[in-house]
Amino acid sequence: MPVDYCRPCKTLKCLFLKIDATKEVLFRPMSKDLNLDNEEFLIEACINQDPKAQKYLFDKYASRMLGVCSRYCRNLDDARDAMQDGYVKIFSIISKFNRQSKLETWMTRVMMNTAIDHYKKESKFVLFESGEDVLKYKKDTEEDYILLAEEIEDISQEQMLKVISELPDGYRVVFNMYAIEGLSHRDISNHLGISEGTSKSQLARAKKYLRDKFLEKGLIGR
């Protein structure tokens, strides 16, 4: 049985190149002719350090990745820095991408980690509060932390991001990871090296902070 194996993308079921691997390949795509819209080709070319593919990857995802970084960083300059470092990291470890998720998802994770690492490296303060705050959090009334969906429905994206960027660093990171990236508290705790309780407390405080800020700015009613 001939193996339908595409050498450039190293997959058995390649929609673009269907080359029989058991036979010698006479015609092979040149890198300049690769269809970089195909994610597999793009990854393969980036693994090969193809500058054209790297630029393509930048052009395609850079704005989104900068948006991701901006959610984790205090200002745009930091976000740009983190995004640039993230791309350098992506280009160097893209060969380890296991293709089990979408490239964009993987890149977002890399960017998120880079932004956090970037912040950790820059920050001289302790990012997260100690576990004692968890006890304090439990004593507070839960209503203080509740945001209603109907209240923030009308808040624009820019306003929302501005408020999020004003969050204290620990709150912001946990809030982004939990609320936007969709990570569980366990994942967050593993990732950041904190307890699950701390993660929960940071999230609750972030929500309270957001609510207060929205109220302060008159974005939601009392």
Partner 1 sequence: MEDKERNIEDLFRRKLEGFEIKATEADWDAIMGKMPMVPAKRRFVWWYWLSGITGVLVALFMIFKPMNSFQTLTYTNQKSVVSEPLRKTSKKVESASNKHNLKNQTKEKIDKSGNLTKRLQSSRKAVSGNQSNAKSTGKQDNGRNRRNHYKAEIEKSDVSNHKTNIPKIVDSPVEIAKPEILILDISPRRPKFDWLTFDVMALNLIALNHPAFALKKEPIDKPNSMNLNFAVGPYISLNRYKQETTSKDADYDKYRKGTEKPAIMPDIGVKITGKYQNLIFNSGLILGFKGQQTAGLVNHRIYDSVPVFNPDSVLIDYFRFNYRDTSTRLRENNRYSYFEIPLNIGYSVRVNKKNNISLTGGATLSMLIGSKGKIIAPNAPNYTLAENDNTDLFFYNRMLTSWQAAIGHTYQLTETITWNTNIQYRSTLGNIYSKNYPVKMNWNNMGINTSLTFKIGR
List the interface residues with partner 1, window 101-140 (CB under 8 A).
Answer: none
d(CA 17, CA 133): 57
Is residue 77 within the footprint of partner 1 (CB under 8 A)?
no
Chain residues 159-218 in contact with partner 1, contact rule CB under 8 A:
160-161, 164, 178-180, 182, 207
d(CA 67, CA 111): 10
d(CA 104, CA 118): 20
| C-alpha closest to that of 109 among 198, 178, 177 | 177
- Smallest distance, Å, CB 125 to partner 1? 25
Is residue 20 within the footprint of partner 1 (CB under 8 A)?
yes
- Smallest distance, Å, CB 29 to partner 1? 5
Q: Judged by CB under 8 A, which of 125, 139, 148, 222 binds partner 1?
A: 148
Long-range contacts of 155-162 (CB under 8 A, 24+ apart): 155/214, 155/219, 155/220, 159/217, 159/219, 161/70, 161/71
Closer residue to partner 1 (CB): 99 or 120: 99
Q: Judged by CB under 8 A, which of 84, 113, 165, 195 binds partner 1?
A: 84
- Smallest distance, Å, CB 218 to partner 1? 19
- Residue 6, classed as helix, strand or coil, is strand
d(CA 41, CA 31): 9
Is residue 62 within the footprint of partner 1 (CB under 8 A)?
yes
Closer residue to partner 1 (CB): 134 or 207: 207
